[in-house]
Amino acid sequence: MFKFSAARARRFPRDKRGNAAVVFGLAIVPIILMVGVAIDYGRAMTVRGSVSDAADAAALAIGSWVGLTEEELEEKAQQFFDANYASALSKDIKSDFKVSFVGDDIVVKATASVPTTFLRLANVNNLDVGIENTITKRQRNIELALVLDTTGSMGSSGKMNAMKDAAKKMVNDMFGDRNTSDTLDVALVPFAAAVNVGTDNKNATWLDKNAKSQVAKEDFGSGTKPFDFFDKLRRKKSSWDWEGCVRERSGYAYELTDATPGDENRNPDSLFAPYFAPDEPDSDNDDGYSYPNNYIDDQKCGERRSRNRTPEKCQRYTGKYDKISIQNHSNGPNKNCPPRPITALSDSKSDVTDAINALQANGYTNIPAGLLWGWRVLSPSAPFTEAEAYDEEERVKAIVLLTDGSNDPGRVYNHNGSNYNAFGYPSEGHLGSTSGSTAENELDEKTETVCNNIKAKGILIYTIGFRVSSSSTHTLLRNCASKPDMYYNSPSNSQLAAIFADIAQGLSELRIAQ
C-alpha cells in the first residue's frame, strides 16, 4: 500500500521521472499538424504537376493539328486534357481547362481545387493550384520529299486517284490557306523502274553526255553516246527523244549515295548516264527467248552468217541505229521510264499539287531508285541544289515513301534477266546474276542500304505499304522507316487519306515559350 509521507512530498518537485512523456504529450499536436500540412501541400503539388503536364500535352497536340478551326481545336484540346489529367487521384478534385489563340501563340490555363484533410483544422478547406503556359506555334522549317510509286499496278483499282487525293490533301493541310510558305518546301519524286530528272537537265554538268562513266559504256562499249542515238531515233520517230530518265551510278564512292557529281575527266563515274534502253534482239535472233523491248530491225547484227548472230551480239550492235527500220512503235529507248519528272523542292502549294495531278502509272517497281532521288532532292549539293544544309537545327528533312508492291525488275527469261531499269540489266552485274529472283533480292538489299544511308544523314523516313500483300515487303518498309510507328499499312484506298493526314500532323513541331 502506497503511503504518503512528508519526505516523499519534499522530493516530488525535484523528481524528473516522466518528463519525456509530458513533453511528448504537449508537442504531439503541432507535430501532427505540420505533417498534415505537408501532406496536404504535397498532394496539391502532385495535382498541379498533373494539371501542367495535361495542359502542355493538349496544347502541343492541337498545335501540330492541321486543317481544323479554332473551335474544333478547343474541343480537341479539352479531350487531350481530360485523357492526360490524372483525375483518378481523387474524384472530388475539380479542375478547369481553357485554351485561347493569340496570333501564332496558344495560351493554356488550367486550375484545380484540391480538398484538404488536416488544414481543415485551420479552416482551410481547399488548396487552389494552376498553371498558365504559352505555346508558340512555330513550325520548324520543313523540307519534304514525297516519293510516290507510279508503276503500272498503281493504275488499277482506283489506287492512283486515291494516292493523288491523299497526297494533295496532305500538301493543302501543311500549306494551310497560303499558296506559298516561308517554312515549308515540298518535292515530288515519282518512281517506277527509274526516275525522271527532267529534260530541262539535258545540258547539266552532272549528266554524262560524253559517255565517260563505266555505266554509260555498259550496253554499247566505249565511244558511243546515248544522245547521239537519241538524235538518230528522233529523226525517224519524233517521240523517241530522251525523256529525262537516268541510270544509277556504280562504284563504291557513288553507288547508293548522294555524293556530289564531279568532273567528267577526273571523276566520270560520279556523273549520271542518260537512260537509254537498248533495242533488244528480233525474233529471228533471240535463240527462242522472249525479248520485250524489240523496236528496230537488227539488220543482221552486222554479221553475214546467221550462225554468228547471238542475242548478246545483236543487242550490242550499234550499226542498226544508223539506218533505222522501226519494228515496234509501242516500245523504244525510254521503255519503263516514268513519264513525269521530279518536281524539285518548292515553296508553292500549286506547283506541288499540279505535279501530283499529272502523275501517270507505268512500268515496274524499283524502290531504291525512288529513295535515292528522294534523298538527292533533300541534299544541299547537285544534282538538285534547292535544299539547305544538313546540320541546320531549325530544319526538318523528311521523306514519305509510298509503294503498292515489292521490288520488281520485270523478270524475263533471256540473257538480260530482266527488263531494263535504273540499274541496267542483271547481266551487267549491278543486280546479281541474270536470275530474275536474284535481281529482286538485290533490289531489296539496295533498298535496305539506301534507307540506312538516308537515316544516317538525319533525314526522317515515313513509309507506306499501299495494298501490299507481301509480308517481306511489309518488313522491308517497316525497317526502312525511322521508327516502327512511322511505317503505315494501308490495306484499302479509303484508309490512305488518314495516313497522310497523320504524317502531316507528325511533321509539325512546337516549342514551349513560357
Instruction: Round to whole Å and give the CA distance between 489 and 507.
Output: 18
Residues 139-145: what's their mean pLDDT? 86
Angle between helices 70-84 and 19-63 (to 10 degrees): 150
Q: What are 359-399's pLDDT values in tens digits?
A: 999 999 999 999 999 999 999 999 999 999 998 777 899 99
Three cell numbers, residue 110: 488550367
Nearest-angstrom CA–CA distance, 356 and 353: 5
pLDDT digits (tens, 9 = 90+) for 266-275: 999 999 999 9
141-275+336-512 — its CATH code? 3.40.50.410
pLDDT value, residue 86 = 63
- 14 falls in which pLDDT band (50, 70, 90)? low
Give the integer Cα–Cα distance in Å for 217 and 424.
Answer: 11
CA distance 371 to 492: 23
Provide mean pLDDT across the span 274-293.
94
Q: Is the pLDDT confidence value at 28 over 70?
A: no
> Residue 130 has which C-alpha cell?
494552376
- Residue 164's CB: how many other CB atoms inside 10 A? 17
- Write out the DSSP string of 103-134: TTEEEEEEEEEEE-SSGGGGT--EEEEEEEEE
Q: What is the average pLDDT score of the chain?
A: 87
Alpha carbons within 13 A on the beta-carbon side of 389: 4
Q: Where in the chain is the domain with CATH 3.40.50.410?
A: 141-275+336-512
Which of helix, strand or coil describes residue 337?
A: coil
Band of the pLDDT at 463, cuts 50, 70, 90?
Answer: very high
pLDDT at 105: 79
Residue 100 has what pLDDT?
A: 86
Q: For position 48, what pLDDT does the model report? A: 85
